[in-house]
């Protein structure tokens, strides 16, 4: 079976690169299953602190493999092989206890953009072109796009992007808050790794609870969110890493965090 994912271990950071350049990183069910399995391993590995999802120069990903789907019409067996896998994968990314960075270059379209939205933060280089072309092919962003995009950019910008299938560039995406940082072409690997390493030095439990709480913030009322924040804060107060962080500050040395 063809391997569409490359994994690099970079001192506490793992970069997973989608590697199907001939089809601009179009996603197949097998690719997504492999990604789910790989992320499961990384979640269980305490040495992995931050994950970067990256693509190729020409495309992060153009979304679902349309050619694979046309075959369903040819054979009259219209199924949804991608639906369950992709939704489960994107929910799993949100539930990971580790920060996930999407590093975007070239085309970031359809399911590719939905994958980027399921990540926690997004960095793009100046070649990135982001959009939802689903309405061109009689579909809609069905892997969380209609729900995650408006929570990030607001409903009217989200609808405008999906109604027109227009592609926006990295600067526009930055102005909308759809990406968090823009870097020059050719520097994305280095810059996203620098960003990841900043996070990888922090206390893992702090990052895990911050992620959980921030995701909760857009899905719950403020009283529930505040109560949950107080309980997570109480858990951290008794953690070994909190004591280590405070001692390290007083002793003027870098902390050594163990994720407990």
114 in catalytic set: yes
Closest-CA residue to 15 (of 67, 61, 55): 55
Quickly tell me which residue has 């997973």 as its tokens: 16
2, 94, 114, 185: the catalytic one is 114
First to last CA, the chain: 39
Residue 43 Cβ vs ligand CO8, minimum distance, rounded to whole Å: 23
| Spatial separation of the C-alpha atoms in residues 232 and 52, rounded to whole Å | 26
| Cβ atoms of residues 121 and 109 within 8 Å | no
Residue 161 Cβ vs ligand CO8, minimum distance, rounded to whole Å: 13
* Nearer CB in complex with ligand CO8: 43/169: 169
Residue 78 Cβ vs ligand CO8, minimum distance, rounded to whole Å: 12
Residue 229 Cβ vs ligand CO8, minimum distance, rounded to whole Å: 33
CA distances from 115 to 18, 32, 54, 67, 112 (A): 12, 10, 11, 20, 5
Class of residue 90 by CB neighbours under 10 A (exposed 0-12, middle 13-18, buried 19+) = buried
* Nearer CB in complex with ligand CO8: 23/248: 23
CA distances from 27 to 21, 107, 157, 211 (A): 11, 13, 26, 26
* Nearer CB in complex with ligand CO8: 149/203: 149
* Nearer CB in complex with ligand CO8: 71/246: 71
Q: State the residues that interact with ligand CO8 by CB under 6 A.
A: 23-24, 26, 62-67, 80, 82-83, 86, 107, 109-111, 133-134, 137, 139, 142-143
2, 8, 41, 134: the catalytic one is 134
21 in catalytic set: no
Active site members: 114, 134
């Amino acid at each position: 079976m063809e391997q569409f994912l490359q994994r690099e271990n970079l001192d506490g950071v793992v970069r997973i690169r989608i590697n199907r350049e001939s089809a601009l990183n179009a996603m197949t069910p097998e690719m997504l299953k492999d990604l789910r399995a790989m992320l499961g391993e990384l979640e269980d590995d305490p040495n992995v602190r931050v994950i970067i999802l990256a693509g190729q120069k020409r495309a992060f990903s153009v979304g679902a493999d349309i050619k694979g789907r046309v075959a369903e019409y040819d054979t009259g067996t219209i199924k949804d092989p991608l639906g369950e896998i992709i939704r489960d994968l994107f929910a799993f990314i949100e539930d990971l206890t580790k920060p996930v960075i999407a590093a975007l270059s070239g085309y970031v379209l359809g399911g590719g953009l939905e994958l980027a939205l399921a990540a926690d933060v997004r960095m793009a280089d100046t070649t990135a072109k982001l959009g939802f072309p689903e309405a061109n092919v009689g579909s809609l962003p069905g892997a969380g796009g209609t729900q995650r995009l408006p929570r990030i950019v607001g409903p009217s910008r989200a609808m405008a992007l999906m109604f027109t299938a227009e592609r926006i560039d990295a600067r526009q995406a930055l102005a909308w808050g759809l990406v968090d940082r823009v870097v020059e072409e050719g520097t994305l690997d280095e810059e996203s790794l620098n960003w990841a390493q900043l996070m990888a030095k922090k206390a893992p439990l702090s990052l895990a609870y911050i992620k959980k709480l921030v995701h909760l913030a857009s899905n719950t009322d403020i009283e529930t969110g505040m109560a949950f924040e107080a309980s997570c804060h109480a858990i951290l107060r008794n953690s070994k890493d909190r004591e280590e962080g405070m001692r390290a500050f007083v002793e003027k040395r870098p902390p050594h965090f163990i994720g407990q």
